[in-house]
Amino acid sequence: MPTFSAPDGTELAYHLRGEGPLLVVLPGGPMRASAYLGDLGGLTAHRRLALLDLRGTGDSAAPADPATYRCDRLVDDVEALRVHLGLERMDLLAHSAGGSLAMLYAARHPERVSRLVLVTAIPWALGMPPTPEHRLAAARLRSSEPWFDALFPAFEEWLAGQADFDPAFAPFFYGRWNATAAEHDARAEVEFNDDAADVYGSDGAYDPEATRTALGAVAAPVLVVAGELDGGPCPELARAAADVFPDVELTVQPGAGHYPWVDDPEWFAGRVTAFLTSTAARTPS
């Protein structure tokens, strides 16, 4: 397990998997160990993944100053990893909450990003949080599934602020609730650093107007992957986030939720690989 030192001396770990050109991967959560990403649906057959454990998660050490869990301060850790890997520019993939970290990194270091893939990325950094209405609309798409009637009333109460989150809501976050999805979700409890997650988006983490302006000048091609059945972000919110980039593709994975590589590994890996390997001239969309 390779490690490197962050600018403040915190020892950070990353995990190398697969073969091919390096792809740096930022996990979501926020503040979930990168283990949940697995091989990203078989993407390791095409790329060598460098999966970062953010400080205080997975095999990375906890910092002396908990305030450094804030998303904008984690940008320096990502840049330290790039330097450690010896990359002049890097292909970067980020999932969920990690999408806001990737956006902040691209805004601050646009010349260091060669391609950017945002997978069901929650655009907090752009001042675009998913709303309860987004999540309820996505949840209602699952009304024909056998577990829906037992879970939806409590899910609705949670979104209305009348109840706490229940891990039993997991089926709403996967496009296919089966044994594979249940096994993936079962690991969540030991992979999160809840205290760090509370700091991740705390006051001062985001400056949406400045970030949108900076991302509007990013030259790197961007792929935004949304799940058809995801509520956070729903495809409409993902499209709004994609619109800030000048050279962007938006793709909506059919039947996918928040973890599209779990729902349909072949579709996901094929779409991401096609984007990362494309050298053809493209018209921004």
Amino acid at 183: E
**Residue 280: band (very low, low, confident or very high) from pLDDT cuts 50, 70, 90:** very low
CA distance 204 to 166: 29
pTM of the model: 0.96
DSSP letter assigned to residue 121: -
Q: Give yes or no for residue 282 having a pLDDT over 70.
A: no
In DSSP terms, 119 is beta-bridged to 95, 225
Q: Are 222 and 248 in contact (CB under 8 A)?
A: yes
Q: How many CB atoms lie within 10 A of CB 203?
A: 7
**pLDDT per position as a tens digit, 142-192:** 999 999 999 999 999 999 999 999 999 999 999 999 999 999 999 998 999
**Residue 279: band (very low, low, confident or very high) from pLDDT cuts 50, 70, 90:** low
**pLDDT per position as a tens digit, 85-102:** 999 999 999 999 999 999
pLDDT of residue 60: 98
CA distance 61 to 12: 6
Cis amide prior to 30 (ω within 30 degrees)? yes
Long-range residue pairs from 146-149, CB within 8 A, at least 24 positions apart, any chain = 147/171, 147/177
Q: Give yes or no for residue 281 having a pLDDT over 60.
A: no
In DSSP terms, 4 is beta-bridged to 12
Taking residues 66-92, what's their average pLDDT?
A: 98
pLDDT of residue 73: 98
**pLDDT per position as a tens digit, 200-219:** 999 999 999 999 999 999 99
pLDDT of residue 207: 98
Q: Give yes or no for residue 284 having a pLDDT over 60.
A: no
Of all residues in the chain, the percent with pLDDT exceeding 70 is 98
Q: Give yes or no for residue 31 having a pLDDT over 80.
A: yes
pLDDT of residue 13: 98
User: Token pair 């400045």 is at which residue?
Assistant: 210
pLDDT of residue 133: 97
Tell me what the pLDDT averaged over the chain comes to.
96
pLDDT of residue 174: 98
User: Token pair 């999966």 is at which residue?
Assistant: 51
CA distance 275 to 285: 14
Q: Give yes or no for residue 83 having a pLDDT over 50.
A: yes
Q: How many CB atoms lie within 10 A of CB 76?
A: 15
Of all residues in the chain, the percent with pLDDT exceeding 90 is 96
**Residue 278: band (very low, low, confident or very high) from pLDDT cuts 50, 70, 90:** confident
pLDDT of residue 1: 87
